[in-house]
Chain A
Amino acid sequence: MKERKGFLYCFVRNRNGMIGFIGVMAIVLIGFVGPMIIGKPSGYTTDILLPPCMEHPLGTDNIGLDILSELIWGARTSLYVSLLAMAISGAIGIPLGLICGYTRGILADIIDAAIDIFMTLPMLPLMIIMAAVMGTSIINVALILGIFSWPQLARVTKNSTLKIREMQYIEAASCLGLSQLRILFKHVLLNASGPVFVNMTLVMASAVLTEASLSFLGLGDPDSWSWGTILKRAWQQNAVISSPNPWWWWLMPSLCVVVYVVCFNLLGTALNDCLNPKGRE
């Protein structure tokens, strides 16, 4: 028999996966540890619109606050929002997708119809309305993101489940007297985990994007820093078009969003490749 190659071995050797993993870990580390070291930027100072220098590595904004510390606090908000959104959409989407794919009957049809309806809803306007009604707080933003991103996850789970349901090992499991719940949430879910994982990382990535758009539209939490909030302030002060251009103000938060999304996507793809024991050779 061949030498065993574990999940870790494969994952460490996956170049894109490691880039994504290191990126995500860096963001997580910055998001968790950064705010403990650096105080929350508030008030105003006289160092208005300074370009990057020794004292302010990424410059300052129009009220003299350090962009770097704003970004670090923003990382925390982004992580918090995307984790919460992912947890909510996973808690709704995965069980519904599994049930919809595994059972045949009226319940599956109802879930299927619900997924279709939710997918055709215009997301952004609804989010704006909900954010306006529910009030602006970080938890509300995450809640809204979670509620609107579950159909995608449910659809992916359902499609994988449909294929797995017909496999002989599922029949074997029910022949061996395992309970349907156990078959569904262990035997089916284990085999569906690849696409589901990837989709969950995508949900995390798009949650940050949407959070940035909501904040940019002024529907984020005004009390907490997020990358979208920084962009919004820059936009309001015409920083993007004014001259001389304070490029560090709007470029840095945009780059943060890009890096975050790319890293999560790379991580998701690598996880998908490595979670499949057959693909490890």
Chain B
Amino acid sequence: MEKGGPLLKVEHLTKLFPVKKTRFFEEQRHVHAVEDVSFELYEGETLGIVGESGSGKSTLARAILALTKVTSGTVIYRGEDITDFRVPPAKRKLLHSELQMIFQDPYASLNPKIKIGEAICEPMLANGQARNHDEAVKKTRHLLEIVGLRAECFDRFPHEFSGGQRQRIGIVRALAVNPRVLFCDESVSALDVSVQAQVLNLFNALKKEFNLTYVFIGHDLAVIRYISDRILVMYLGKVMEIARYDQLFSDRAHPYTKALVSAIPEPSTAARKERIILEGDIPSAVNPPEGCRFCQRCFMARPECFEVEPDFYEVEPGHFVRCPYMKGGE
């Protein structure tokens, strides 16, 4: 890998899910979960991915981590093609440890019949991060203390913990295999606000300690803005905007992003600035609209938006927007 190049590069990644046919003679239709997504991830940064429910954020992460087979496109990690983890087994072991995921639901992501300690030791032994059981146990106890859990938790079952504690356990389980890139799939959405803040601070602290790179997926722009260096905005399976966290609030942002930004609650009593309220729901991903994906709900939409799919424009250095009216010079 050349120096300064991206750690992870996703090129034209597409994931279509076939829709079950109801009649025999029927054209096969697909849910366009993720379509033509490209981005780069640099070492040490935190990339936030925001979007509504159903915009394909989680599917994108799952496709990169080979938890679901991609339809087309490539994933390049450290200069090597790792799409669907089609690599030799020894290399795959390394990938399984270097790319890790923290799941959304802390109640469902831990096996209810397996004790915490064992759940954390198991992947360490399977991927060779620990040579024997004793070493794994020692490391697990150490990690549990780092994330603020007592080492006695080792012999307990998941149902004995609260949501925040379980999410910490999920983090420990992912950290146990020495990951380089951590995908956090809505990892704080299921927690209440005070616990969210604790866990977010924990993420920031761990990033420094373990030298991690994050891909942070969420639907709450306030949370994503807090933790991310760069933000990728998705809508209906497509990338609408890629921006540095401060560029996201500029006038050049995509109309969808503007709507999301205006929805962030502000802790002040001053008169609120105009909120942009989007009409309707996210359209079906089976028949995505022609032209711009966002045209049906866009408050700036013009007739040509319904016909032509807009390109990606670089409106400022490092700030890409899929909207021709933000290009400037008009």
Contacts and interface: CB of A to CB of B under 8 A. Distances in A.
Contacts of B159: 277-278
A175 interface: yes
A177 B157 contact: no
A172 interface: yes
B101 A172 contact: yes
B157 A168 contact: no
A176 B100 contact: yes
Interface string A170-192: 01111111110010000100110
A169 B101 CA distance: 12
A273 to B, nearest CB: 14
B160 A1 contact: yes
B306 to A, nearest CB: 38
A191 B111 contact: yes
A171 B170 CA distance: 13
Nearest to A4: B156
Contacts of B103: 168, 171-172
What range describes how many residues of A lie at the interface? 20 to 34
B93 A177 contact: yes
B318 interface: no
Q: How large is the interface on B (under 10, 10 to 19, 20 to 34, 35 or more residues)?
A: 20 to 34
Contact of A278 (B112, B161, B170): B112
Nearest to A189: B113
B111 A177 contact: no
Interface in A1-39: 1-2, 4
Interface in B55-106: 62, 65, 67, 92-93, 96-97, 100-101, 103-105
A167 interface: yes
B110 to A, nearest CB: 6
B96 A175 contact: yes
Interface of B: 62, 65, 67, 92-93, 96-97, 100-101, 103-105, 108-114, 122-123, 126-127, 156-157, 159-161, 170, 173-174, 177
Given A169-B110, A278-B112, 11 more contacts: A1-B156, A2-B160, A168-B104, A169-B112, A171-B62, A172-B103, A175-B100, A177-B96, A187-B111, A187-B114, A277-B112
4 closest Cβ pairs, A-B complex: A177-B96, A176-B123, A168-B108, A190-B113
